[in-house]
Each structure stands twice: as structure tokens, then as C-alpha cells.
Amino acid sequence: MASIIVPANPSEARAGRFGVYGGRYVPETLVAALDELEHAYDEAKMDAAFQAELADLLKDYAGRPTPLYFAKRLTEQLGGAKIYLKREDLLHTGAHKINNALGQGLLAKRMGKKRVIAETGAGQHGVATASACALFGLECVVYMGDVDMERQELNVKRMRLLGTEVRGVSSGSKTLKDAISEAMRDWVTNVRTTYYLLGSALGAHPYPTMVRDFHRVISKELKQQILEKEGRLPTAIIACVGGGSNAIGAFYEFIPDRQVRLIGVEAGGRGPALGEHAARFKGGAPGVLQGTYSYVLQDDDGQIALTHSVSAGLDYASIGPEHAALHDSGRAEYVSCDDATALDAVVRLARTEGILPAIESAHAVAEAIRIAPALPASDILVVNLSGRGDKDMGILARELKL
Amino acid sequence: MPIRFDHKPGLVVYLTAGDPSLDATCEIAVAAIDAGADVIELGVPFSDPLGDGPIIQRASERALARGTRLRDVLALAREIRAARPAAGLVIFSYLNPMLRYGLRKFTDDAAAAGADGVLAIDLIVEEAAEYLAEMSRVNLAPIFLAAPTSSDARLEAIAKYSKGFVYAISRVGITGTQKSITADAKALVERIRRYTRLPVAVGFGISNAEHVAQVAEFADAAVIGSAIVELVENSTAATAPGAVARFIKGLRLRDAALAR
Ligand SMILES: Cc1ncc(COP(=O)(O)O)c(C=O)c1O
């Protein structure tokens, strides 16, 4: 067998690199599994039968295509750009996460893996994975931080009902980051039998590419739908960014269309101090966390910082590497939205349109509410409404004193 | 100093730097060397040690809670080097603290402190070009991990880019103690030897004299990590050096008995 070639320059373009970002920063034990996964995915991608099976499931099981809805009342209230909502919230299990869970679940089955593990923050990826595993007859274990188990309790119960074992994680910040570390420890230990179904466009190659590909369907549909409805491309696409999967899925097909602004919204949390938010592009610096080189919230000794967001799904110290590259190249813009503004947007959307968004998605809605009034009525904003807010009723009842 | 395994079997002792304190880690390291450790691996505590089991996770949390920083670990390395000039000394770290410190500055300072090598647990050979260049610039030995799951092609690359020794992971898993050494370890060491004449050290889960004796049958050295970190956890700063020294002396007893 040929020797592995070590590139002279780490930024040299290779599979799994987005500019200088991405790569594979993992313990050696996992490399073989990542190679196996990359190989299996490359084959599945080219396999018409696999793609057809996935397309059927996305249509009849998950409910694709999702509508592109013109939010007429919200648009009129704001008096500026037209606002459309891409309704990922209407998907089975309540968020975009099912696109990826079905894709990777099928892949796990194809690879002959019987046991699936996953991490979850808001619990949406956990519920999507639990559902996919029930559907494919796979054993499923989901790691979830103790803090998230408490604030997204409904999703914990849903996962259990679906036959999944939910394992609480009590280390570190007890949120998504710690759930990923624990899932990776499980994977290192059980790598020969276990499929790690990672839930965002994060982690070591091939995950950021593969997860993005499974969510690309969002921007494929969106492009066709907006051309049908408006006969032209939108002014901007706005999406919240936790790890970055719904955003990259909504952006991807528009990257070559340079006139379309791509706006990612990070969690501004309680304020700009380190530890109070999850705005990686504002407070972070390039570094390595959990397999990938990207922007990371960290202290000046390279220790990973604590984060805060009212939304569990955005509460993470790093961001998918493709977003880091889109940020540095200037192709996408990243802003942040604080907790209070996101909660206001939940209420606003609920009361003007009768749509209850997930608090994650409300961060993107808030950005549309902020910028629409100053834009001409001929402009079009599309918000990727990544999920619905049913899971957040506990937090909303408390925060809004319902 | 080149890394050498003068004792048979060789012993590499992992310590989480700063647990229970930097001074205590220095005393424990010196006691370990005097008791027969060939190489000390100084672990840099990290907030998110995803390759480590609960024992080293807890030790890292304690060390970080005391404010241990990478520059403190390098100062500690310098002290150990001054106290025991002939021992092997390796810095064991996750990549991000080194990146944040700056790879150039880190390798400069680690070499100046008297370290012999560096082991970055989440850095694989394919991603290591810049690191390898910096390491070789200051004559530090890059030590890579080899896993039972590594392909032959990967083992060849790992062997090619490692200096000092190759670290063979005894089993598929994270750090932590275990009951017995699996067949994985022996098979892996045999595969590694096809590609290198460097010494091979076996680590992860080696916890007692019996394990050390088993490893000695096919490898040059055993790495003792979690078992010693747990001993430190269950001792005080004052009693830990003695406890660690006794433990290390005991590790070679069964082997000595077998040799007779
Ligand atoms: C509804 C919803 N939107 C967004 C996210 C954030 O993830 P990502 O950035 O990968 O889309 C989550 C994660 O849990 C979510 O549940």
C-alpha cells in the first residue's frame, strides 16, 4: 500500500478542507472509521438506488418539499422587504434535522451498523435520530447535556418513547459540546460496531460535507420555489447558526449567486462577555475543537470557553468549518441576536402569522424583523424557519410568564 | 536528551500537570523517575479531553480549577529537567492549547525547557505538516499514536514521522484502567515493528504488574496513565510522591520474579 502523503502546507486544498478550515483532528483510533465512512458515503452518493430511497423517505415520511410561505402580515407590519419563510418547521419531528438523520440512518444501515449513537442539544437532532433508528430498526443511544435535558425535557421523553436510550452528560458545561465529547468517547470505544450520527455540519471530515449535502435539499427547493413565485432570486437568505447545518443547507445552492446575501445569525445570549453568548465570529478565534479547525470561543490559554444561549441548539463554542470559510471570504455575513430579541421574535411571529418558531429559528426571524423595514418593498428576504417551537413551551412559559 | 529505555521493561509514567498542584506534580515526577520511570509524560490539562476516560477528565478539571496554564506546564518541565537531567520528558497535550500558544513559540519553549518530545493526542500525521516542521526545527521528537484500527499504510506513516518511540494504543477505546490486556495490543506492536526500529511503548489501561509483565513480552515499554492519576487523586500532595514511587517499584516485581 502507498504511504500517506503529508502535505507541505496544511492549508493545501484537500478533501474536507474549506479554505484553511475543516480537516480531521481526532484520536488515531477514529481515523479508520472516518475513512470507512467517507468511502461508504462517496459510494452511496453515486448510487441511484440509495438516492431514490432517500428521496422517497424525504417526501412521504418527512414531508418534503416544505412550503415557501409568504409572510404577508409580518411583511405589511414591517413595511419594507417582502419576507418569506422556508417551512422546515413543518417537517416530521419538527425541524430540519430529519433531513440529515434519514440520510445518515440509511447510510448506517447500508454499512451494516446495528448501533447508532448521536449527540443532541435542543433534542431535535436526538428526536430525528431516534425516529430514523426506529424506522430502520437500529439500536440508538443519544448523549445530551444535563442542562439541555432539563430545558428540553419534552424531547427527552419523545426520544425515550421512540425506544432510544438517552444518556445524560454531567461534565463541563453540560450542554451540546459535552454531549459531543461523550459521544466521541463512546465512538472511540465501540467504533467497530457503532455508527456516529453527528447532527450538524461539524466535526471531522467527512461530516461537515456529508451533513451539508443532506441539507442541500433546502436550498434546492428554495431556489425553484422563489423563482416560481417571484421570478427572481431573493435579496437575502437568513438562517440561525448553531453548528451550521440548517444555514449551510439553506445557503449552499446560492453561494455562486453573488447578488444573494447570505446572513447567518449566531446566539448573542445575554451579552458580549466571554461565556455569555455563542457568537463565535465576534468572540472566537480559529482553533480546534472536536475534530475540526474553525472559529472557537476560547480563553487566551486555548481552553474552550463556556457559552450561553436561551436556545440549546445554538449554545455551542464552535461553528461548522464551511461557515468559517464563508465568513473569511466575505461571501456570507454573520450577525448575532441576543436572547431577549429572539424571544420577542417568537412572540411576534406567533401573533402575526400564527406560527410558533423554535427559539433557535427565532434568531433568524429577529434579523429579518430588524433589517426588513429599511429595505425597499422590492427586496425579498427568505428566513429559513429551521424548526417549530413546541419543544420550547417550558422555556417560553417561564420566560414569557404565560 | 534522546529518549531511552534503560530499564527492562521500560516505563512511561503519565501525570496530569497541576494535579493536585504544580509543585506536587514536580515532586511526583522526580519520585517516579527515582523509582524507575524512564520517561515522564506531562499532561497539559484541557477543558474538553475527548480522548480521556473519567479519571483523567477529573484530574484535568482539578488542574484547570487551580489555574494551571500551558506556560506553567512548560515551567514545570524545566524544573523536572533540572532535577533529573537524564530522564525522558514528553509533553502530552490536546492540540488547541498548543495552537493558541503558537506552534513556533510552543516548540521553542518546550525545547528550551528541556522536553525531549511532544505527543498531541488529536493530531494525526496527515494534519501535522506544520507541527512536524516546527518540531524538527528545535529537535523535539514528535510521538504519534498508533491504534489497533490503524491500517498498515497509516502505521507506515506513523512510524516514519515518529521519533523517540511509537505509542501503541493497547485497545480500541479511551484512556482508563482495565482488567486485562487484549490481543489487539500484541498484534499492533508486531505490525508496527514491520515499519520501524524505534522502541514501541504500549499504553491505555495498563494498571498493574501483571499487565506490565504481559506487555514486556512483546513491547519495549508500558505507559501507565490512569492508574497513577487515580493513585494521585486518592493521595494528598504530601503522600502522593511516596505512593507513586511504591506503585512503580511494584510494577516491575512480577517481571523480575518471572525472569528468575
Ligand atoms: C430548530 C433548530 N434550528 C437550528 C438548530 C441549530 O443547528 P444547526 O446550526 O446545525 O442548524 C437546531 C439544533 O438543535 C434546531 O433544533
What are the strands of the beta sheet with A332-338, ordered from one edge? Answer: A68-70, A82-87, A380-385, A236-240, A261-269, A332-338
Interface test with B, best of A1, A3, A4 (most B CBs within 10 A): A4
State yes or no: pLDDT of A5 exceeds 60: no
Q: Indicate the helix (H) or strand (E) that contains B226.
A: helix B226-233
Burial classification of residue B68, based on how many CB atoms lie within 10 Å of its CB (0-12 exposed, 13-18 middle, 19 or more buried): buried
Q: From the CB of A242, is ligand 1 less than 6 Å away?
A: yes
Q: How far apart are the CA of B256 and the nearest CA of chain A, in angstroms?
A: 33
Active-site residue identified among A82, A86, A113, A119: A119
Indicate which residues of B carry an active-site annotation: 41, 52
> What's the DSSP call for residue A30?
G
CA of A313 to the centre of ligand 1 (A): 5
Q: What is the mean pLDDT of chain A?
A: 95
Q: Considering only CB atoms, which chain A residues are within 8 Å of B144?
A: 28
Position B150 in a domain: no
Q: How far apart are the CA of A251 and the nearest CA of chain B, in angstroms?
A: 28
8 Å CB contact between A246 and A219: no
Interface test with B, best of A39, A185, A318 (most B CBs within 10 A): A185
- SS3 state at A167: strand
pLDDT in tens, B165-220: 999 999 888 988 888 888 899 999 999 999 999 999 999 999 999 999 999 999 99
- Lookup: cell for A201: 455540519
pLDDT in tens, A327-375: 999 999 999 999 999 999 999 999 999 999 999 999 999 999 999 999 9
CA of B253 to the centre of ligand 1 (A): 56
Nearest residue on chain B to A2, judged by CA atoms?
B153
- In this prediction, residue B255 has a pLDDT band, given cuts at 50, 70 and 90, of low
Active-site residue identified among A131, A173, A181, A386: A386
Position B193 in a domain: no
Question: What does DSSP say about strands B166-169 and B145-146: parallel, antiparallel, or unpaired?
Answer: parallel
Q: What is the CATH number of the domain that holds B237?
A: 3.20.20.70
- The protein residue with its alpha carbon nearest to ligand 1, atom 12, reads A313
Q: From the CB of A124, is ligand 1 less than 6 Å away?
A: yes
Q: From the CB of A241, is ligand 1 less than 6 Å away?
A: yes
In this complex, do B153 and A4 lie within 8 Å of one another by their Cβ atoms? yes
In this complex, do A25 and B174 lie within 8 Å of one another by their Cβ atoms? no
N residues, chain A: 402
pLDDT in tens, A27-58: 999 999 999 999 999 999 999 999 999 999 99
Q: Considering only CB atoms, which chain A residues are within 8 Å of B168?
A: none
8 Å CB contact between B18 and B72: yes
Looking at residue B178, its pLDDT comes to 81
CA of B118 to the centre of ligand 1 (A): 38
- Residue B139 neighbours by CB distance under 10 Å: 12
Distance CA B202, CA A274 (A): 40
- Lookup: cell for B255: 517481571
State yes or no: pLDDT of A212 exceeds 50: yes
Position B16 in a domain: yes
8 Å CB contact between A6 and B132: yes
Domain hosting residue B134, numbered range: 10-143+204-259
Q: From the CB of A109, is ligand 1 less than 6 Å away?
A: no
Looking at residue A2, its pLDDT comes to 31
Angle at B41 between CA B38 and CA B46, to 5 degrees: 170
State yes or no: pLDDT of A376 exceeds 90: yes
In this complex, do B97 and A10 lie within 8 Å of one another by their Cβ atoms? no
Nearest residue on chain B to A191, judged by CA atoms?
B172
Q: Is A391 a catalytic residue?
A: no
Distance CA A201, CA A318 (A): 11
In this complex, do B99 and A287 lie within 8 Å of one another by their Cβ atoms? yes
The conformational region for residue A302 under phi > 0 = left, psi -120 to 50 = alpha, else beta, is left
State yes or no: pLDDT of A277 exceeds 50: yes
**What pTM was estimated for this model as a whole?**
0.96
Give B166's strand partners.
B200
pLDDT in tens, B1-38: 679 998 889 999 999 999 999 999 999 999 999 999 99
Position B88 in a domain: yes
> What's the DSSP call for residue B17?
T
Taking a contact as any Cβ pair under 8 Å apart, which residues of chain B between 137 and 156 contact chain A? 144-154, 156
In this complex, do B148 and A29 lie within 8 Å of one another by their Cβ atoms? yes
- In this prediction, residue B260 has a pLDDT band, given cuts at 50, 70 and 90, of very low
In this complex, do B150 and A32 lie within 8 Å of one another by their Cβ atoms? yes
User: Which of B246, B244, B245, B239 lies closest to B228, judged by CA?
Assistant: B244
Distance CA A333, CA A265 (A): 9
Taking a contact as any Cβ pair under 8 Å apart, which residues of chain B between 186 and 245 contact chain A? none
- In this prediction, residue A14 has a pLDDT band, given cuts at 50, 70 and 90, of low
Position B194 in a domain: no
Distance CA B97, CA B88 (A): 22
Q: E-assigned strands of chain B? A: 10-16, 39-43, 88-93, 117-120, 141-142, 145-146, 166-169, 200-203, 221-224
Looking at residue A3, its pLDDT comes to 34
Q: From the CB of A360, is ligand 1 less than 6 Å away?
A: yes
- SS3 state at B227: helix
User: Which of A123, A195, A135 lies closest to A159, judged by CA?
Assistant: A123
> Would you list the DSSP string of B33-59?
HHTT-SEEEEEPP-S--TT--HHHHHH
Interface test with A, best of B55, B62, B66, B149 (most A CBs within 10 A): B149
Q: How far apart are the CA of B257 and the nearest CA of chain A, in angstroms?
A: 34
8 Å CB contact between B210 and B252: no
Question: What does DSSP say about strands A236-240 and A194-196: parallel, antiparallel, or unpaired?
Answer: unpaired
State yes or no: pLDDT of A320 exceeds 60: yes
Number of domains in chain B: 1
- Between helix B226-233 and helix B54-65 the angle, nearest 10°, is 50
**Integer CA distances (angstroms), A159 to A153, A204, B47, B133, B164, in order:** 10, 26, 29, 48, 49
CA of B133 to the centre of ligand 1 (A): 39
- Residue B199 neighbours by CB distance under 10 Å: 17
State yes or no: pLDDT of A95 exceeds 80: yes
Q: How far apart are the CA of A399 and the nearest CA of chain B, in angstroms?
A: 31
CA of B84 to the centre of ligand 1 (A): 53
- The protein residue with its alpha carbon nearest to ligand 1, atom 4, reads A360
Query: Which one of A237, A386, A391 would you pick to mutate in the ligand 1 pocket, going by the greatest count of ligand atoms within 8 A of its CB?
Result: A386
State yes or no: pLDDT of A301 exceeds 50: yes
pLDDT in tens, A230-253: 999 999 999 999 999 999 999 999
Distance CA A86, CA A400 (A): 26
Based on DSSP, count helices (H) and strands (E) in chain B, helices before strands: 12, 9
User: Which of A320, A337, A334, A357 lies closest to A86, judged by CA?
Assistant: A357
Position B178 in a domain: no
What is the biggest distance separating any 2 CA atoms in chain A, rounded to whole angstroms?
66
Q: From the CB of A95, is ligand 1 less than 6 Å away?
A: yes
Q: From the CB of A358, is ligand 1 less than 6 Å away?
A: yes
Distance CA A306, CA A278 (A): 9
Q: Considering only CB atoms, which chain A residues are within 8 Å of B73?
A: none
Position B179 in a domain: no
Distance CA A14, CA A11 (A): 8
- SS3 state at A145: strand
Position B172 in a domain: no
Looking at residue B147, its pLDDT comes to 97
- Between helix A48-56 and helix A31-46 the angle, nearest 10°, is 80
Q: Considering only CB atoms, which chain A residues are within 8 Å of B156?
A: 1, 3-4
Q: Considering only CB atoms, which chain A residues are within 8 Å of B99?
A: 286-288, 302
User: Does any CB of chain A come closer than 8 Å to the CB of residue B105?
Assistant: no
Q: How far apart are the CA of B147 and the nearest CA of chain A, in angstroms?
A: 5
State yes or no: pLDDT of A218 exceeds 90: yes
- Residue A303 neighbours by CB distance under 10 Å: 21
CA dihedral sign, ordered B160, B162, B168, B173: negative
**Phi (first) and psi of residue B46, to 5 degrees:** -135, 145
Looking at residue B177, its pLDDT comes to 80
Q: Considering only CB atoms, which chain B residues are within 8 Å of A286?
A: 99
* HEC secondary structure over A46-107: HCHHHHHHHHHHHHHHHCCCCCEEECHHHHHHHCCCEEEEEEHHHCHHHECHHHHHHHHHHH
- Residue A220 neighbours by CB distance under 10 Å: 14
Distance CA A327, CA A335 (A): 11
Cell 433568524 appears where? A364
pLDDT in tens, B100-135: 999 999 999 999 999 999 999 999 999 999 999 999
Task: Give the residue-averaged pLDDT of A216-236.
Answer: 98
Q: Is A386 a catalytic residue?
A: yes
In this predicted structure, which of A115-129, A278-292, A293-307, B164-178 has the lowest mean pLDDT? Answer: B164-178
State yes or no: pLDDT of A9 exceeds 60: no
State yes or no: pLDDT of B257 exceeds 70: no
Q: Considering only CB atoms, which chain A residues are within 8 Å of B69?
A: 301
